[in-house]
Chain A
Amino acid sequence: MSKTIEYYTYAILGIFLFTLPLYLKSQYFITIATFIFLYAFMTLGLRIIMKVGEVSFGYAAFMAIGAYTTALLTTKLHLSFWVTWFIACAITALVAFLLGSLAVRTKGVHFFLVTLAMGETIRLIAMNWNAPLLGGPQGIYGIPSPTPITLGAFTIKFDSRVAMYFLALIALIMVVVLILRLDHSRIGRIWDVIGQDDRLAAVIGINVYWHKLVSFVLSSTVAGLGGVVFAHMMTYISPYDFTFFYTMQLLVYIIFGGMITFVGPILGVTILVVLAEALRRFGQYELIFYGFVIILVLRFIPEGVFNWISRILIRRRQVIVGPSRGEETSHGYSEDSKP
């Protein structure tokens, strides 16, 4: 795909998404779209750490840190949302830096286990420590919606579903721009190298520890942002929202969509969220069908849906144009899961 077509596609998609609430009046669909945006940028955040070849299972816990920070600041100190989201992200980044500097010493399955332990511990702290402040297992109620912005005569209110839709969309666009910049930058390339072979990366002079730490902090900060949006969207958070299974769900989205480009995770989220909604009428059998779909799709297209589609498209073009264009360079994700 040439650059101009790519930018036109983004522009059209952006306009479509921004005007969607005009012709989609149903609150139900708006809520689903909001959730898709939220999950989409959360999966993109998880993909940042997966670029360096690791999977962080403490991801949901960093989301919890962001959510709890903004919830406490807005409910106890009555600060404005437009201040707290930044503070929440900063605190998440700080915690991620401290924990990450320990976690990044490990790799592969050990990294997975260590981040899992850290994440569960953060969740347990939220559950057990200082119940009057953090609310214990009940969590925090009545998180206010973002404060209205007054621009001269206009006042933009944020207390409706549509407003949350735009908030989630803007957060998604922020993260997508970040990812786009990252994927095409020197640092992104370095992270790809580390993801493929961190020993090789170390040999050619890349500081693997530092790069992994930066990607861990960045990824966790996106999780914190996700937590902020989640808290203000749900107006209620509890430690049960941020279990290890939440991270697992995000990982399912990424693997299902394919993680080579940033489109894959978004596609995975969209397909699976819509599928889950479509299966809802099967009631109790929903999860069973869902499980079967995941297993079957991964069984036949293990590289993810998006990569499968693009491979088919490229092959078709080669049949028409001839093979001169060359295959898309695929820097696949390889995990040394077997130590």
Chain B
Amino acid sequence: MLPMIIINGLVLSLTYFLIASGLTVVFSIMGIINFAHGAIIMLGGMVAYYSFTFLNINFYLSVILAMATTAIFSVVLKRIVFDHFAKYPLQGCIAAVGIAMIIQQGALVGLGGEDKVFVNALPQDLVNLFGVTVTLDRITIVLVSFFIMIGMLAFLQFTKAGLIIRATTQEPIASQLCGVNNDYVSAISMALGGALAGAAGALLGAMFTVSPYWGESLILKAFVVIIIGGLGSVTGAIVGSFILGLVESIGITLSGYVTFVLVFVLIVILLLIRPKGILGHE
């Protein structure tokens, strides 16, 4: 029972981390909630699907290709749309909704509405892990996401770009006074968010299926993660996704129906204690 809860919880947690981290990175620098994030995740999944099935590129290379595509796409999006909404955050959110509409409907028109399946990208063998039978693709995806998570933390913690991003998150004006080019930093954060969305799309797409309006269902989970962890902090996203993943895993094991009640009770208790989320800041 316990190993099963933990392993399922890990799979769910890392999935949620992939979805939520990009959103939180973009918010922490740009100050807008990117409603197009779900659409960008879907785009990443589509890129990985086409490069894997039609171009016969190795799956891991397809993931990297998807990340690169969505990163470039996000930066372009920032340059042509979000830059004009710097003074109007709410209008920026609505513009992001418009972008999501265009991307999703564009994918439906251009690529077709059927589910894109590429579960054969990863080995499907069954592995016995601590008495629990798990398919090998889940383990691979958990490992890759874990690698991405560590890489991102290391990037934020140990590189100069990461230092600048953290500084800009905390004090945008002060960091600008220290000679940081804020525009450049937000381009980097947008690229980072896009790359994380691309990775999420490619990896989750290989686990489930990809369809044009797939991202919408994912992004709601990302919001729950963000509520728990606190908006604008990557560690918060990690903590939030692990809590949500483990709670959902417990809920699913006990009873399918209890899950969402558990999550809600959790959120309400959290709200009463810490309205900003566990690691959120003012």
Contact = CB atoms under 8 A, between A and B. Distances in A.
B231 A295 contact: no
Nearest to B105: A287
Contact of B89 (A113, A116, A335): A335
B90 A337 contact: yes
A120 B264 CA distance: 10
Contact of A245 (B105, B216, B276): B216
Interface stretch (A69-77, A101-109, A185-193): A101-109
B95 interface: yes
Nearest to A255: B94
Contacts of B231: 109-110, 113, 339
B227 to A, nearest CB: 5
B106 interface: yes
B85 interface: yes
A265 to B, nearest CB: 13
Interface in B152-178: 172
Interface string B96-128: 011111101110110000000000000000000
Contacts of A112: 33
A333 interface: yes
B90 A333 contact: yes
Interface in A233-279: 244-245, 248, 251-252, 255-256
Greatest chain B CB density within 10 A among A117, A302, A338 is at A117
Secondary structure at chain A's binding surface: helix, strand, loop or mixed? helix
B97 A252 contact: yes
A104 to B, nearest CB: 10
A339 to B, nearest CB: 5
B14 to A, nearest CB: 21
B267 to A, nearest CB: 5
A291 B85 contact: no
Nearest to B27: A109
Contact of B105 (A114, A116, A284, A339): A284
A339 B172 CA distance: 11
A92 B196 CA distance: 40
Greatest chain B CB density within 10 A among A129, A255, A339 is at A339
Interface string A82-121: 0000000000000000000011011001101110111011
Interface size class of B (residues with CB under 8 A): 35 or more
Interface size class of A (residues with CB under 8 A): 35 or more
A254 to B, nearest CB: 9
A124 interface: yes
A281 B263 CA distance: 43
Interface in B185-238: 216, 220, 223-224, 226-227, 231-232
B257 interface: yes
A76 to B, nearest CB: 23
A23 interface: no
Contact of B275 (A106, A256, A295): A106
A7 interface: no
A288 B106 contact: yes
Contact of B95 (A290, A299, A337): A299
Contacts of A129: 257
A252 B95 CA distance: 9
Contacts of B226: 113
B254 interface: no
A121 B81 contact: no
A55 B94 CA distance: 12
Interface in B11-36: 27, 31-33, 35
B91 interface: yes
A112 B23 CA distance: 15
A129 to B, nearest CB: 8
A301 to B, nearest CB: 10
Interface in A285-313: 285-288, 290-292, 294-295, 298-299, 302
A57 B123 CA distance: 41
Nearest to B33: A109
B108 A284 contact: yes
B90 A255 contact: yes
Contacts of A27: none
A278 to B, nearest CB: 16
15 contacts: A105-B275, A109-B231, A114-B227, A284-B105, A284-B108, A285-B109, A287-B105, A288-B101, A295-B98, A298-B91, A298-B94, A299-B95, A302-B87, A302-B88, A339-B232
Interface of B: 27, 31-33, 35, 81, 84-85, 87-91, 93-95, 97-102, 104-106, 108-109, 172, 216, 220, 223-224, 226-227, 231-232, 257, 260, 263-264, 267-268, 271-272, 275-277, 280-282
Interface of A: 55, 102-103, 105-106, 109-110, 112-114, 116-118, 120-121, 124, 128-129, 244-245, 248, 251-252, 255-256, 284-288, 290-292, 294-295, 298-299, 302, 333, 335, 337-339
The 10 closest A-B pairs by CB, nearest first: A291-B101, A337-B89, A338-B31, A287-B105, A291-B102, A291-B98, A294-B98, A106-B275, A295-B98, A121-B264
Given A121-B264, A252-B97, 13 more contacts: A105-B275, A110-B276, A110-B280, A117-B264, A121-B260, A128-B260, A285-B109, A290-B101, A291-B97, A295-B102, A298-B85, A299-B81, A302-B87
